[in-house]
Chains A and B, each alone.
Chain A
Amino acid sequence: MTAAEIRQAVLHILADIAPDEDLSNLKEDVPFREQLEMDSMDFLDIVMELRKRYRIQIPEEQYTELASMASTVRYLEPRMKDL
């Protein structure tokens, strides 16, 4: 998957987790925690959705890599490039 496709995949996950949220103006570098007020339960859900949909295993100490859209895509790119 390309960076743009990964971004889209993450957007789909966010839209599932927060269906009432308008994601069209999501800022790349602002943490999800601030923009969407996500909590630790939500981050766990992003991790589990990635595992469910793409079989990506993310160890707990690396959850912090998923802080914002930009960092998430950066982190996932090498792990999802062959999908």
Chain B
Amino acid sequence: MYDTVIIGAGMSGLAAGIRLAHFGKRVCILERHSVIGGLNSFYRQGGRTYDVGLHAVTNFAPKGSRRGPFARLLRQLRVTWEDWALAPQLGSAIVFPGAILQFSNEFELFESEVRLRFPRQVDNFRRLVSSLHDYDQFGASGANRSARQVVGEIIDDPLLVEMLFCPILFYGGAREHDIDFDQFSILFRAIFLEGLARPLTGIQMILKMLVRRFKDLGGELRLRAAVERIAVESNAVRKVVLQDGSEIETRNVLSSAGWAETMQLCDDEAEQPQSPPGRLSFVESISILNTPPGELGYDKTIVFFNDSEKFHYEKPDELTDFRSGTVCSPNNFAYSEPLSEGMIRISALANFDRWAALDPDRYREEKARCYEQLSASAARFVPDFRRAVVETDLFTPRTIHRFTGHADGAIYGSAQKSRDGTTRLNNLFICGNDQGLVGIVGTIISGISIANRHLLK
């Protein structure tokens, strides 16, 4: 009998597992795949290791910082700043027609860029920054206010509003067009006030550290352990049944598999909540270059681009929406040694249903076509790197669906969140994206706080 069974060995599940194991709970993490990580995973192909979800770790804090989510995470998991080996970004930009805003981990740069491009908005911009919610206010206000409305009342230049929403929605918007203001606040802090960073060896370094920590504390991790159903009796989970037929008895279940996705596993007859799948999914191309991107004149860490004055954050009608996207170079962080190869990653909004409907031959064709179009689209905003490409790969909403289990490959889960992590069953809890926190640091904090609140008392 376990104290807690955790579904999913992603960031939130591993973090929760570490907390529970540290305080002597008997805990087992079930992962349906043979690799861990969920959305933030990695795979090997042709002798190279590719990250899936990670562009950058947001919420960067320099060594010795005591405040903010990253410092909290270090203390809660009992790991050191060095364990993360984070290298800060070189500098990023938001690029719209006729306007560029650069930003780095020094917030002064962003503010001076706003002053330069939008001189009349700089006071409003400062007002917006000072009205951002604190992390502790997250989910506390009860009322979910539209960030479009709050920001629109403070900043009256629509172009600046669109340029602020572009990176924030790309890096954490679970619904179309808009986001709750407290989530906007968290993402604004995470991206602009704290900043971006990456470990030299990418996501696998973070995952390995978390798994080592979990196992050192006596936690059990089972790979290729897909949950078939959650057996429910009188409003409580009794056991978890795996697809191989084995049964696991547990006092509690903590699931990172998505809220609706988890409730659908429950075998009682209760009516399922009507929580529509999230509509936002992505394609991402990966290009390996024969030279560092800096040699081609590309020195930015991330470029968020949009080709008109209005940013459309919505599920496209076509397979892929090439009007906007993000370009990321994992090379352009301040590492102690350079990466062995140049790499560019480009992502853009995509339609899950359209990608899911393709037969294998069409799927392969469309992937190749999408890769070409993504590269051409990005070349409008960053130096053209195409002649330096030696190897490519592309992942689609189908890939995201496979790695995360999120219905419809919704990258940030459903638009509906369970903020306090509770469900209609008294010993079943939700952590991860569907608890409402996104990003690597965010989902780790999600796992920690739900474990603390419901499973450690």
Contact = CB atoms under 8 A, between A and B. Distances in A.
A42 to B, nearest CB: 6
B66 A37 contact: yes
- Chain B's interface size range is 10 to 19
Contact of A18 (B24, B67, B75, B448): B75
B395 interface: no
A18 B81 CA distance: 10
Interface of B: 23-24, 63-64, 66-67, 72, 74-76, 78-81, 448-449, 452, 456
A48 B23 CA distance: 8
Given A20-B63, A41-B452, A52 B76 contact: no
Given A41-B448, A48-B456, 17 more contacts: A16-B78, A17-B75, A18-B66, A19-B74, A19-B78, A19-B79, A20-B64, A20-B74, A20-B81, A21-B66, A36-B66, A39-B72, A41-B76, A41-B449, A42-B75, A48-B23, A52-B23
A45 B75 contact: yes
Contacts of A42: 75
B24 A52 contact: yes
Contacts of A20: 63-64, 74, 80-81
A44 interface: yes
Contacts, number: 33
Contacts of A36: 66
Contacts of A41: 72, 75-76, 448-449, 452
Given A16-B78, A37-B66, A44 B72 contact: no
Contacts of B452: 41, 44
Contacts of B456: 48
Interface in A13-70: 16-21, 36-37, 39, 41-42, 44-45, 48, 52
Nearest to A48: B23
Contacts of B63: 20
Contacts of A17: 75, 78
Contacts of A39: 72
Contacts of A37: 66-67
A18 B67 CA distance: 12
A62 B67 CA distance: 25
A33 to B, nearest CB: 11
A18 to B, nearest CB: 6
Contacts of B23: 48, 52
A19 B72 CA distance: 12
Contacts of A52: 23-24
Contacts of A44: 452
B3 to A, nearest CB: 14
B370 to A, nearest CB: 43
B219 to A, nearest CB: 16
A16 B80 CA distance: 10
A48 to B, nearest CB: 6
Of the listed residues A16, A37, A45, the one surrounded by the most CB atoms of chain B closer than 10 A to its CB is A45
B63 to A, nearest CB: 7
Nearest to B74: A20
